[in-house]
Amino acid sequence: MSCGKILITFSAALIVSHLFCIKYFINLKDVPAKDLRKIVSDAKKRKNLRKKLSTLEVDKGAPLKGKLLIQMFEKSSLRTRLSFYLAIKQLGGGTLTLRSNELHLGQGSESVADTAKILSTYGDGFMLRTDSDQKVENFRDHLTIPVINGLSPSSHPTQVLSDVFTVEEIKKKKISKLNICWIGDSNNVLDSLIAASVKFSFKLSIGCPKNFEPGKEVRAWVKANNKKIFIYNDPKKAVLGADVIFSDKVISLNDKVNKKKKIEQFKKFKIDKKLMSYAKKDCIFLHCLPRGSEVSNEVFLGKKSHVWKQALNRVHVQKSILLYCFGKLR
């Protein structure tokens, strides 16, 4: 009897320990700054070690051998899907990709809680790209495996952490020593960039029309963390002294707005050679893709643009995010 009690107690302790060891990557706001820096540093090492390896060769030691990452996409994806597929493969694991319309989820026959139990039974990690912030939270509450936010309406943490990596790689200095500028709409990428500006302590200037400024909630969060962001309704003022200019599509895939009107409102915020001339001479341009009318071909395809390196770097950072979530980050 006492032995049984000991076994039960030990088993319960293991379960509790397992639950406390699970790490989520849902919003940069919730990840400690030291952990974000550790992820970026690990990605740098891993990229250097892959110089002589082909695309599908596995990293030395295969740190995630035998692990399965389940991916679910409710929104279209190219870079996120490819980068996570290669990331888990290069770490020695495997991936299974699902689309929400292939499941019973949301059709009145299976709850998120029940779906989460199945996912936790079959997989070791779960990456979700969704049009619902609540759905990310629901899965986090019910899954017993790590959850990674591949994009949600209010956050795109994997994109922005990779962008921090790219900036530091190109500029060869910590992002905290650089002036970062965002020109464009206030969306999920900007919200994550704002969170990154607090976590990595860099100056962030935002150029956008008055009606498209960051929301009160995110601005209050910045203030609560004793930091500042600088918002300008004049794009020239926003880019002055910038080391890096970021942008994103003015019209997102699921934007329920008058598209012609919105494009007209952002007309003077188009990133062209003239606007780039107000930034530092060695200023670089980055864009999370896909692009639209917010940037000229001359800038997008020019020497100051590093969008292709930016996209490829996501593989290296996703790998370190996976290792972080699986508790295997060195």
Among the listed residues 288, 306, 310, 316, the single catalytic one is 288
Distance CA 165, CA 149 (A): 18
Quote the tokens at residue 283.
């200023």
Reply yes or no on whether 288 is catalytic.
yes
- Of 204, 210, 176, give the one whose Cα is nearest residue 192: 204
Q: Which of 79, 129, 287, 306 is catalytic?
A: 129
User: Is there a contact between 140 and 148 (Cβ–Cβ < 8 Å)?
Assistant: no
Among residues 79, 156, 287, 306, the one annotated as catalytic is 156
- Do 89 and 35 contact (CB within 8 A), yes or no? no
Distance CA 318, CA 161 (A): 9
Six token digits for residue 42: 């690990």
- Does 191 qualify as catalytic in the annotation? no
> Which is the catalytic residue, given 159, 265, 310, 318?
159
Helix or strand or coil: residue 282? coil
* Active site (annotated) includes residue 129: yes
- 50 among known catalytic residues: no
In three-state secondary structure terms, 228 is: coil
Q: Is 79 a catalytic residue?
A: no
CA dihedral 326, 66, 137, 37 (to 10 degrees): 30
Query: In the beta sheet, which residues pair with residue 151?
Result: 129
Catalytic residue among 46, 306, 314, 316: 314
Q: Which of 79, 90, 248, 316 is catalytic?
A: 248
Residue 156 bears catalytic tag? yes
Count of CB atoms situated within 10 Å of the CB of 67: 20
CA distance 180 to 131: 28
Contact 229, 222 (CB under 8 A): yes
User: Do 188 and 165 contact (CB within 8 A), yes or no?
Assistant: no
Report yes or no: 329 and 38 within 8 Å, Cβ to Cβ: yes
Active site residues: 129, 156, 159, 248, 288, 314
